[in-house]
Amino acid sequence: MRIILSFIVSVFLIVSCKQKDKKATAEETALPENKKLADSVLVTDSTWGWIDNATDFEGLKKLYGESNVKDDTICGPECVDSVTVTMVYPGSNKQFVIYWEDSFYHKQIGFIRCYGTDAPYHTAGGIKIGTTLKELVQMNGEPITFSGFGWDYGGNIISLNHGILENSNVHFSLDLMDYSGEAEGIIGDTEVNSDMPGVKKLDTKIKVIELFLPINRSR
């Protein structure tokens, strides 16, 4: 009986994997020719995976499948207003959020955000959700200045101090993870710098929690 049960489970897993592979293949086949070679999770200065500044709502549905593209209403800054956005891959680790310049017509993307813990999106230089402040400073070659944690604008980047990352159109924000009473001086509406001794002690616990890419906006 156990042998039969194990066999049934094995067959089920094989069939499930094949179905997933077929779905992925179908999505790839449906892509326009100029998108098939693009990395679907690579974020550049002007593209998010297959998305560029010419992509509209109908284009999103063609790229990702209609079932993976859904409009939603979320809180704006400090939840003062609500904002109509489009979720791609909603509810999955691949979810990202489209903000429109024209929220009614959905013709022009303003910017794209991603804040999922296990999101696969990354830059060519290796910035992704979970990248540590220590790694970012090494990439940047200069200190990084950001706002203190624990409020609505906590962890926002204030200055890259003319470092290498200042040349990129990909933005990110930070948060302090897994700490216990060590954050004195870096909490609240205050300016914080990666050169500060208190920050250096925590530079592997301060991590990227969001990627942000303006699509139709100048830097």
Residues listed for the chain: 219
Could you tell me the strand order of the sheet in which 206-214 lies?
69-75, 82-88, 96-100, 109-114, 206-214, 171-176
pTM above 0.85, yes or no: no
Torsions phi, psi for 118 (to 5 deg): -105, 25
Tokens 């962890």, residue located: 155
Distance, in Å, from the CA atom of 89 to the CA atom of 63, rounded to the nearest integer, reads 12
16-44: pLDDT as tens digits:
444 444 444 444 445 655 555 568 999 99
φ and ψ of 15, to 5 deg = -65, -40
pLDDT in tens, 110-164: 999 999 989 999 999 999 999 999 999 999 999 999 999 988 899 999 999 999 9
Rounded distance between C-alpha atoms, residue 7 and residue 137, angstroms = 52
Q: Provide the pLDDT for residue 191.
A: 96
pLDDT of 194-212, one tens digit each? 999 999 999 999 999 999 9
Domain positions in the chain: 53-114, 133-214
User: Residue 43 gets which letter from DSSP?
Assistant: B
Is the per-residue pLDDT at 64 higher than 60? yes
**CA separation, residue 59 to residues 28, 31, 64 (Å):** 14, 10, 9
